Amino acid sequence: MTEARTSQHYTFGHGLLEGHPPPSREVLTVWLDQRHIKRDERLEIASMEDGSGWRMVAKDDMDLGELICAIPKTSLLSHKTSSLPPLPDLPPEVLDSRSLNCYTILHLSLCLLHEFRLGTDSPFYGYLQALPREVIGLPLFWNMEEIGGQDGKLGRRWLKGTEVERELERRSQQSLSFGDLKAFYAATSPHLPPTPAHPAPSPFLAYLHCFALISSRAFMTDIYHLIALCPFADILNHSSSSTSHTSMMADDFVCHICGSLAPCQHDITDANGVPYRLAHLGEREIERIGREEDSVDMRVERPVVKGEEVWNCYGEGLGDAKLLVEWGFISGDFAGEGLTWNMEDLGLDRVGAMLGDDTSGKEDEDEEAKLERCWFVVESVGTTYERNLDRRKVIVNNDEEDDEDEEERLLCPPSEQDGRLLNLDQSGRLSTNIFGFLWLDQSLALPCSNSNADSNAERQAASLGKKGRSRSESDKDADDIAAQQTSRTEFGLDELEQELSSIVRSIEALEHAWSVLDGPESSNSGSGHRVDLASEHSTDATAGQERSTSSVVLDDRTKKVVERIKVILRSRLEGLHRSELSDEELFELKDNLKPTERYQDMAMTISINERVLLRSALERWEQL
């Protein structure tokens, strides 16, 4: 892995494995053989070109489906296989707010620390000695002098207002803040068994070192081990799913009491004697798992060429913010979901009142239920928008016209990874989720249309007709809305169709406006294209005066949503560190960094990429 740099001097302040020889591939290989960890002989552990760690290289071609490694679960380092004695009950202030995932990470970090303290007496020593000795510089530690130094403190400033700062806040909400780590270790360190090399509890820095190793190297395995260190597999470095060669595979339907994959004494069985946890398997498959050893496997999912590094994918759609916070490095691949917001960021703290109690008929309805009703409308908008995009693709392909670039649109469908994400994607397109909520929010400030559902349906049908859609497609929309009638009744959304149709028409008008502005002829000064932000209360005669045949009319609510979007983008941009600097000034500052100032370099890379994305998106919306 690439997270930490190796060194010939192993005095890092944490006191672990001091005086031991440097990491040895030979010692690791012997240990892997002793623990019956299978590896393909065509794989070689090699050094990174910059000396920052190890990597996996193929000495020959490898084809699809071939085994890279198989690690018996008995050889994993988890809270179940560690020799750390069970902890006593911890104080309520340490455990009250912690999820199982949070506690498992903190506990496994303590288990790893205990194994390090055992040194050569640990059954995992051959693996432990191969791990990085220097503390991995997660942003959580950058303000700590012993880890980040001046570089970390300055780098942390550049994270202000970025997705990294938001990711750190999310970790804090999961009880994984720096203060949470400190409180957990203060409560548990007295229970660490003394060892010959460490008769007293280790310094907090030692625990942070172990926490960083768990954060950057552990994998989720099953419901028994939960997260665990997977020797040999953790040598593979990360690449996106489109370029990686493999990923981790493990059967997770094991017994939660003993960890057995095969039927065991703890199982509850059906009338045929089959454990319910194995009911999805066939008889032969159940027989097979009874014969074979349960393991964590990696197989070739994309052909590997001789001499090529073998890449693993740590997760789908991982952006630089998450990579930096959890693994301590960035990829620069512009992957992930782009920039995200929450309801408070968007000024939607009054979201519960958007549809009003008069539409729900539930005066005592709580805020969470009201928010759920709003999401019902917004998610319907995203579904409709995505379906319309698919139809346009069909029309474009049929007409052999492929000059429409989806990445140049103003809006994008909801994220495939998280359908309720409020984001600006890597192409600078705003999520329909954000647009939908901003639209609904305007109903608090603007008078709603008095049009009934019939007139709304007529206008929608007319709009669809202008787009060249067939009557059967319009009927399908009507059928989709009718199919939602039960849910509408449950949520009390009597005006769902009106709101949904209005938002969809607004989005179509915006996309048409942008296509006019961004079209090939828009650069000609005499084209006459413009967007008319006319009032929806103006008369047809007034609205029609002096209007170009290519102009687009946006109503009052759409106009206000557009202005809100501009404010949101400007606010996010102004919240970044040194937001007054131009791109040229920022690149010059970054180019002048010393090679040793890697924390600042990573932080500035993220900050620069985010402000470029924000400025690009803002430029589009300011043209409307």
The DSSP annotation for 300-322 comes to: -SS-B-TTPBPEE--STT--HHH
**Looking at the domain that runs over 25-251+294-327, which CATH code has it been given?**
3.90.1410.10
Hey, CA dihedral for 374, 377, 380, 384, is it positive or negative?
A: negative
**Residue 328 near residue 212 (C-beta atoms within 8 A):** yes
CA atoms of 112 and 89, how far apart (whole Å):
20
**Tens digit of each residue's pLDDT (9 = 90 or more) over 66-83:** 999 999 999 999 999 999
Q: Which of 45-59, 311-325, 479-493 shows the lowest mean pLDDT across its residues?
A: 479-493
CB-side exposure of 31: number of CA atoms within 13 Å?
Answer: 20
- pLDDT at residue 276, as a whole number: 94
Taking each helix axis from N to C end, the angle separating 163-173 and 320-327, rounded to the nearest 10 degrees, works out to 50
Whether this model's pTM surpasses 0.95: no
H-type alpha helices, 197-291? 204-217, 283-291
Domain ranges, ordered by start, for the chain: 25-251+294-327, 339-446+488-574
**Tens digit of each residue's pLDDT (9 = 90 or more) over 117-172:** 999 999 999 999 999 999 999 999 999 999 999 999 999 999 999 999 999 999 99
CA atoms of 379 and 351, how far apart (whole Å):
15
- pLDDT at residue 417, as a whole number: 87
- pLDDT at residue 65, as a whole number: 95
Question: What mean pLDDT comes out for the span 554-568?
Answer: 92
H-type alpha helices, 329-429? 357-360, 367-398
